[in-house]
Amino acid sequence: MLLLAALIAGCGGGGGTKTSEIPGGGSVTPTTTQAAKPPAGCTAVAKPAPKKEGGQKKPKAPLASGKTYKLTFETNCGSFTVQLDTKTAPNASASMASLAKAGFFDGTFFHRIVPGFVIQGGDPTGTGQGGPGYKTVDKPPNGAKYTLGVVAMAKTGNEKPGTAGSQFFVVTGNAGLPADYAVLGKVVSGLDVVKRIGQLGDSSEQPTFTVVIKKATVS
C-alpha cells in the first residue's frame, strides 16, 4: 500500500455526504463486480438492495462491566468473531452490540476491500456514506496499533479521533495507521475468513465478489 498512514474513512452518521476516502486523498463510491466463479470457501449470493440509514437509538449506557462480549459476523464466505474491547471503546462497543441486536448489519455487505490492508463494512446503504443516525466517541489510546485482526471504527478525516458510527474495518495486514480510530476489539475466531475476504478487492478498493453479512449476533 502506498501511504500506509492514509485515512480509513467512512461516514457513520445519518445523512452524511462524504464518500470513503482512499489512500492518496481520493474518494470512491463503492460498487461491486461479481466474480464469474465463487472463490474457494465462498458461496455466490445476490448483492443486497440498499437499506435506509439512520433511525437507530444511541445506547444510553455502556455494556455491563465484568463480562466478555463477542460480536460474530456470519457471511457467505464464512464467519468470524470479534471480542469487544469494552475498556478501550466502551461507547462504540455498546453501540455495535445494540445495532447487531437490532439486525442493523444483517443484509449489508463489505463495500470496501483493500488487499493487504483492510476490509470495511457496516454501511446500510453500501455507498460508504451511511450510518445509524448518531455518533459515538472513544479516544484511542496513545500508541494504538492497527495490526492483523484488529477491528476499529471508520471515520472521516475531519472528525475527531475515535469518532464512530456503524462502519468498521478489520485489518488484514500491517496498516501503519495513526492512533485516530476507536479500537473496537480483535478477531478471536475466523481470522482465516477475514483473510479470505481480504483478497476479494481490486486496485481501486472495490470488491470483486459480493460478501454479505447474513447475520450479526452478540454473545
String of DSSP letters for 77-130: TEEEEEEE-TTT-HHHHHHHHHHHHTTSSTTEE--EEETTTEEEE--TTSSS--
Q: What is the pLDDT of residues 24-69, one digit of tens each?
A: 223 344 444 555 589 999 999 999 999 999 999 999 999 999 999 9
Q: Which residue has the higher pLDDT, 11 or 127?
A: 127
Question: H-helix or E-strand containing 195?
Answer: helix 191-198
CATH code assigned at 214:
2.40.100.10
Q: What is the pLDDT of residues 101-124, one digit of tens each?
A: 999 999 999 999 999 999 999 999
CA atoms within 13 A on the CB side of 21: 17
CA-angle at 98, arms to 93 and 100, nearest 5°: 95
Query: Is residue 22 included in any domain, yes or no?
Result: no
Task: Give residue 118's domain range.
Answer: 69-218
- 211 confidence band (pLDDT: 50, 70, 90): very high
pLDDT, residue 75, reads 98
pLDDT of residue 35: 52
Is there a domain that residue 119 lies in?
yes
Mean of the per-residue pLDDT values of the chain: 87
- pLDDT at position 100 is 98
By three-state DSSP, how is residue 69 classified? coil
Q: What is the pTM of this model?
A: 0.86
Residue indicated by cell numbers 433511525: 55
Residue 101 lies in a domain: yes
In a domain, 50, yes or no: no
Does residue 96 fall inside a structural domain?
yes
Residue 211 lies in a domain: yes
In a domain, 126, yes or no: yes
Is residue 171 included in any domain, yes or no?
A: yes
Domain count, the chain: 1
Nearest-5° angle of CA 145, CA 12, CA 68? 55
